[in-house]
Structure 1
Amino acid sequence: MVEVIAKFLRENKIAKELTDKTIVYESHVRRFWNSARYEEKEKMIYSAVRKRDENGQDVDLEIKFNVGDLRRVLELGDSDNDPTIIPEHLCKGLWCRMGFTGHINGKMGKTMLCHSYKFMIHCVVHALSHRKGAYDETSDYIMNIITFLVLNRP
């Protein structure tokens, strides 16, 4: 069964995000968000990244991008019209159909599922979560990602 879930993860919409080996340093992320600003009129995010020029000097380079750029680079294959969240009762209902045995209104931990779903959630949490620990618990947005994956929705 784990082989089936592994194949499913390799072939789904977020396969690139699950398998990307890019190393992201916390200092780079912090520097990016400390200088980031959102322009509502243009619907763009502006920030600065540090880059070495041809003389070996560090220079700040301003970058700008929007949601469409993120979708294109991450190869998500979705659009602005696709939902980003579904009602909590639908997520919890799906988790029950997946065999979740824990308390449905408590913390949704992956330990309360069969091995194949546990493996899938483990992959998603490690690849897409910004956590440094507590990998057994799933947050609301991870629950939504799992739900969309299982239902094969964008």
Structure 2
Amino acid sequence: MVKGCMLWTGYNGPLNNANYLKSCFSKPYKFFIHLIVHALSHRKGGYDVMRDYQMNMVTAPVLNKKYNFSKIVFHYMKDNITLGSKTWIYPRFIQMILDHAYPDIEKDEENDLLVITWIRKR
């Protein structure tokens, strides 16, 4: 199903590799794949190369199939904790969990490292 979806989305690279290149997809799907890889990937770099599980994450929405995204996120969060990594993965996801669990927590927006500001162009 994944390989068929890759062909349907215009992939023009080798289909039997363990890694798939984002640059080999047609232009409309490059952006979608970029979003999936950056938002739901546990990687700290190398965002042009996708692994097979990431291609599953792309295939499910393209083909309108159910997929358990939270299972993948929690699996890699667990691996990150148990391996003793000093780098947090999914920091925004963790912040959302904390905001939901503790809605009244006091926030220091002047010293917060993850402040998102919107710049409006005129």
Q: Does 1:136 align with 2:48?
A: yes
In structure 1, stretches of 5+ residues that fail to align are 1-89
Cα distance in 2 between the residues matched to 1:114 and 1:97:
10
Identity of aligned residues (%): 46
Q: Does 1:152 align with 2:64?
A: yes
In structure 2, stretches of 5+ residues that fail to align are 67-122
Larger Rg: 1
Scaled by the length of structure 2, the TM-score of the pair is 0.51
Q: What aligned pairs does 1:1-150 form with structure 2 within 5 A after superposition?
A: 90-106=1-17, 107-150=19-62
The aligned length equals: 65
Scaled by the length of structure 1, the TM-score of the pair is 0.41
Cα distance in 1 between the residues matched to 2:53 and 2:14:
19
Q: CA deviation at 1:113?
A: 0.8
Structure in which a larger fraction of residues adopt strand: 1
Can you list the C-alpha shifts for 1:69-94, whole angstroms capped at 9, x where unaligned?
xxxxxxxxxxxxxxxxxxxxx10111
Cα distance in 2 between the residues matched to 1:128 and 1:141:
11
CA RMSD of aligned residues (A): 0.9
